[in-house]
Amino acid sequence: MKQKNDRRLVLIIFGLVVLFLYIFLTNLLCCGPAQYSKDPKSVIHMDLEKIYSQGYGITNSKEIYFDPNIPLYGNEVIGKIGIKESEMAFGCEGSICDKFFLNTQDFETSTNFASKESFNASMVVCGDDSRTQGPRYCIGFGKQGDEAERACRSRCRLT
């Protein structure tokens, strides 16, 4: 009888371990790690490339880290994507705009900027390659994802 109970206990423990591994691996493969990056240039570049290849759309917001020692330059963000700097614009909404060296008006005309301090921000890339006036591709920043999305849509005049 004791042997039978020991086998049952081993099988129950084995089953729980298998279940735990299944849940862990499913979450890892499904959802991956949290969307956070200390390299805003590469994150923006990847999302910009995605929107460029689709021709239209908006990405999910991602949390990125700004370092005052690492400025963002439009030509570096674009890289080898077939976008001209004049077709791209940055937008900002909310209190986070004060953390950049540029004021909100300068976001309208500049594709280069730096942060005054280290901080996390939400970022969204959006675009519409059929636009004939104004920027075709925009990068919006905000403290939260909804602010970043509004900044992006507003700057690119997307509905």
3-state secondary structure (DSSP) of residue 1: coil
- At residue 33, the pLDDT reads 45
CB 129 within 8 A of CB 56: yes
Closest of 78, 46, 86, 76 to residue 64, by C-alpha: 46
130 DSSP 8-state letter: T
Average pLDDT of the segment spanning 40-67: 92
34: pLDDT strictly greater than 50 = no
60: pLDDT strictly greater than 70 = yes
- At residue 73, the pLDDT reads 83
Beta bridge partners of 91: 140
- At residue 108, the pLDDT reads 57
Strands 36-37 and 62-66: what pairing? parallel
Q: What is the pTM of this model?
A: 0.71
Q: Rounded to the nearest 5 degrees, what angle is found at the Cα of 96, between the Cα atoms of 93 and 102?
A: 85
CB 122 within 8 A of CB 145: yes
Structure tokens at 19: 């279940």
31: pLDDT strictly greater than 60 = no
Amino acid identity of residue 85, one-letter, is E
Q: Mention the CATH class of domain 36-156.
A: mainly beta
Rg (CA), the chain: 22
pLDDT digits (tens, 9 = 90+) for 91-145: 888 888 888 765 444 555 667 777 888 888 999 999 998 988 888 999 999 999 9
CB 63 within 8 A of CB 35: yes
- At residue 77, the pLDDT reads 87
Q: Where are the domains of the chain?
A: 1-32, 36-156
CB 142 within 8 A of CB 122: yes
Average pLDDT in the chain: 81
CB 123 within 8 A of CB 140: yes
